[in-house]
Each structure stands twice: as C-alpha cells, then as structure tokens.
Amino acid sequence: LPPLPYGSNYLCVFDQTPPIPASVTRNGLTCPTPSIEQRPEIPFDKDHVNVEVAVRSSETDTDFIHRSFIFYDCTRHKS
C-alpha cells in the first residue's frame, strides 16, 4: 500500500457503518469489525449476511478497494 501523508490514515467501511481506522501491518491492513450494534441484522431464516467492505483514504475520502464480507451467526446452528 502506498504510504499516506502525515496525519492521514486508512479507514475500513462496512456498508453504511461509520468508518473504522485500519491498522497497517507488514502484510497490508487489518480491519476491525463494527460493533454488534452497528452490524446489519441477519435475516431470521439465514445464518449470515453479506456486506461490502471498502478501504478508504482519510486524505481523499475515496474508497479504492471493495470486497464482499460475510458476518455469520453460528448460534443459528444446533450441531
């Protein structure tokens, strides 16, 4: 990833949740997931929900990588 100017950072955006600061690692970025309250609701008859996660530059406020991300609720399974 290109280095950002001083004071700028990478942000992770899960659908419409507020941006979360990403951690820069040796191998790229780590995105913490939003709090449970900010995650989309999983439909009653499903065990997961798909969202889009984007990486944003705080300098330009532009999303430059988009990927699908799946939140699972394992408690929906009985075995």
Two tokens at 21?
């600061």
Can you give the pLDDT at residue 48? 96
Can you give the pLDDT at residue 69? 97
Give the burial class of 7: count Cβ atoms within 10 A of its Cβ; 0-12 exposed, 13-18 middle, 19 or more buried: exposed
Can you give the pLDDT at residue 73? 93
Distance between CA 1 and CA 20 in Å, rounded?
A: 18
- Is-contact 21 33, C-beta < 8 A? no
- Is-contact 27 46, C-beta < 8 A? no
Residues with Cβ within 8 Å of 63's Cβ and at least 6 positions away in sequence, in order, are 13, 54, 55, 56
Q: According to the CATH classification, is domain 1-35+48-79 in 2.60.40.10? A: yes
List, for the chain, all residue ranges whose pLDDT scores fall below the cut of 50. none
Can you give the pLDDT at residue 2? 79
Can you give the pLDDT at residue 4? 85
